[in-house]
Structure formats: C-alpha cells, structure tokens
Amino acid sequence: MRLWSVFRKSIREQWREPWGLALTLGTAPFFVLLYWLFFGGTTPFVVLVFEEGRPPLKTATKEEEVSAGGQLVKLLASLKRPRGGALMKASLVEGLAEAKQRLTRRQAAALVVVPRGFLQALAGADANAKKPKLRIVGDFTDPQYASVAVVLNAALQRFVQEATNTMMPVEVAKEAIARSDQRTEFENYVPGLLILSVVMLIFSAAMTITYEVEMGTLRRLQLSNLSAFSLLLGIALSQVLLGTLSVLLTFGMAAILGFRSQGPLWVAILVGAVTSLSIMGVAMIVASFARTVTEAFLLSNFPLFLLMFFSGAIRPIPKVPLGVIGGREIGLYDLLQPTHAVVALNKVLTFGASLRDVVFEVIAVLVLAVLYFGVGVALFHLRRMRIA
C-alpha cells in the first residue's frame, strides 16, 4: 500500500507541472517530425534553368518555348520520387544574376546553365569534336545542392540521349557561386551557430523577467509608476548587450578553430544585435505565462526548439510558401526572426556580402522584433502588471 501511495503521489505531482510533462512527452515526437521535414518529406527541389542566347520569356515564340531550355524544364518537372510526388520544381529564368541571387537566398537548390545552340551543336558534332558543356551551379554550402546535383547529373545525361536519340555522353561541370566551394564543412555551420548563441537568450531574458515577479520586486517597481514598456525595454537592452557579447565570443572561438569571414565582421555583429532584440519579444511572451523562474526555464524550451530548427539555424528545411511580396517568396518559417538572420549571416560570412546586400533581412528582423515586442509588452501588462 505504501508503494501505491508513493506512485499516486508522484503521478499527481507530475500532473501539477503540465509544462514539464509536455516537454518530457513531446520532445521525441517533435524530433520525429523534424527529421521527417529534413529527410523524409516530399517537397520538390527547386531547380532553375538558364539558356544562353534565349530571347526574353514574355516574347518567346512557340518554337522557342520548346528549345533546349524548355525541353529540359519539362524533363526535370516529370521526374518523380519513388513513392510518388514531384522530385523537382523546374523553371526558366531570364538572367544569371537573378538566378544566382536566388541561390544565395537559398530559394533554389541548383541552377543548370545550357549553352547557346546546345542541341544543334550536339547534332552536328563528330566523335572527335569538343562537345558543348552543361553547368550545374549552386551553393556548395547548401546541403540540398549535394543531393540535387547527383540527380541532375543523371537527368542531364538522359536529356541529351532523348534529344539526340543517341548514347552520346555530355560533359557536365559543377560550379560554385561566390567561393562556397572553398568552405570547410565546419565553416558551413558557423552562421547557424552564431544565431544559436543569440536564440539562447530566451532562457536568460525570460528568467530575468520572471525573477522580478517571483521575488515580489515587480510590485515595488509598480509603486514607482514604472510602466511595463519601460521595465521590459530596460531588460531588453541589457540582453541585447549580452547577445552581442555572446556573438563575439562564439565568433572568436570559431576564428581560433580556423573560421574566416568573407564579409565585414561588423555587419555580422549588427545582425546578431538586431536578432538579440527580436528574441526579447519571445522571452516576454514566455514570462507572461511563467509563475516561477523554474517554470520560465521549462517554457523557454518550446520556442527554443521552434527557433533553432524551423529557422534553418541547424539545417535548412523546405519552405512552406505563403505568397509573394515585392518579388520575394514568403514562407511560413519567415515569421520566425532567426530565419532572416541565418540568411543574412550566410550572405555575409560565406559570400562576402555588405550591409547593402542584407538590408531586406535586417529590416525583416526589425519588423518582427517590433511585432513580437509589442505582443510581449501587451501580454505582460495584462497578466502581470495588473495583478502584481
């Protein structure tokens, strides 16, 4: 009977801590979903095709629409996964600059460049003549590129065979954008790790805010007519300083181990500082629901997992498109601040981009920072300032 009593007592205590129970039971299923998104989903690879010498797509005739580039797009779009579903989402692009920009933003996995008069050159070439060369261009630091390049190589051989009705081999060259082929595997993960150092502020910020509630100091601050905005902004600024220091320490460790930034370091630090401010809004939301510092720690794990894995900080995951704004495709995960920060840091550290090249990402993080901060202040005022 004593054993049964202890068992019932233990069950009741765990039931009184729902957040800890949810974290314990939900973590493994969460990672199952995550690994399915990483490796088992059916989202097609986005592949761009650029045909040299092709007229603008809007003015192309019907005959030009079935040129080498058009035929290749149809072939790639027809490829299926073993269990069904499209393997690739292929489309023609107007120019190389536009295509390489999309590769840099990781809006596409690879670009196939078809030389001018490719099929005609193949048809008229003899066995000893130099054959025209196809190019597969991509970001060598993007995990998706390695997977799609293998499939593309086989698909291009099939494309040539079907177009010429021969078993003629074709030369396929792989080309890296910027200097992505010179980066080591370790260097590929540094941008995401820098953002991870900022995302970890959720614990510090949420626990700092909740401490004021748990220890009763919030009531004394209220008596001095301190507003929720002033309290939270003051804490936020201290956390931004802490986040900037964390970025510097993380980058310093990476530099000691051989990492070198291709772009200006101060831009990367600016991105880290802006992201630190944006994380504060999430921490405020957590603190609005946490009653104790321990509970704040447990609750912080839920947004931590979301921001770490669904922003692409650990590994890029397929987009869930919502629409297009200003010519840019907006996805579901773009609602997470670190998503834009990861893209910005990858541009700066890997491709040597300047501040001008990451203005969109910085503005996106700032807009989301204001949004989350506003929600956090409103919730904290409603749930804590009125009852403290």
State the pLDDT at residue 54. 72
| pLDDT, mean of residues 95-115 | 85
pLDDT tens digits, 165-186 = 766 667 788 888 877 777 777 8
Write out the DSSP string of 32-58.
HHHHIIIII--PPEEEEEEETTPPPGG
pLDDT tens digits, 117-160 = 777 766 655 555 566 788 888 888 787 887 788 888 888 888 88
State the pLDDT at residue 293. 87
Q: What percent of the chain has pLDDT over 90?
A: 6
| pLDDT of 61 over the 60 cut | no
| pLDDT of 98 over the 70 cut | yes
Mean per-residue pLDDT of the chain: 80
Q: How far is 52 from 372, CA to CA, in rounded Å?
A: 46
| pLDDT of 326 over the 80 cut | no
State the pLDDT at residue 328. 73
Q: Which domains does the chain have, with CATH numbers?
A: 45-182 (3.40.1710.10), 186-385 (no CATH)
State the pLDDT at residue 100. 85
Handedness of CA 30, 34, 39, 40 (dihedral sign): positive
Per-residue three-class SS string for 211-234: HHHHCCHHHHHHHCCCCHHHHHHH
CA atoms within a 13 Å half-sphere pointing along the CA-CB vector of 315? 11
Hey, how many other C-beta atoms are within 10 angstroms of the C-beta on 161?
14
First-residue to last-residue Cα distance in the chain = 43
pLDDT tens digits, 192-201 = 888 888 999 8
- Say which residue the tokens 């193949």 belong to: 122
State the pLDDT at residue 167. 64
- The answer for residues whose C-beta is within 8 angstroms of residue 98's C-beta and 6 or more apart is none
Helix 201-214 crosses helix 265-289 at what angle (to 10 degrees)? 40
Provide the H-helix boundaries in the chain.
2-16, 18-35, 62-65, 68-78, 96-104, 118-124, 143-164, 185-199, 201-214, 217-223, 228-256, 265-289, 293-309, 337-351, 359-380
| pLDDT of 301 over the 80 cut | yes
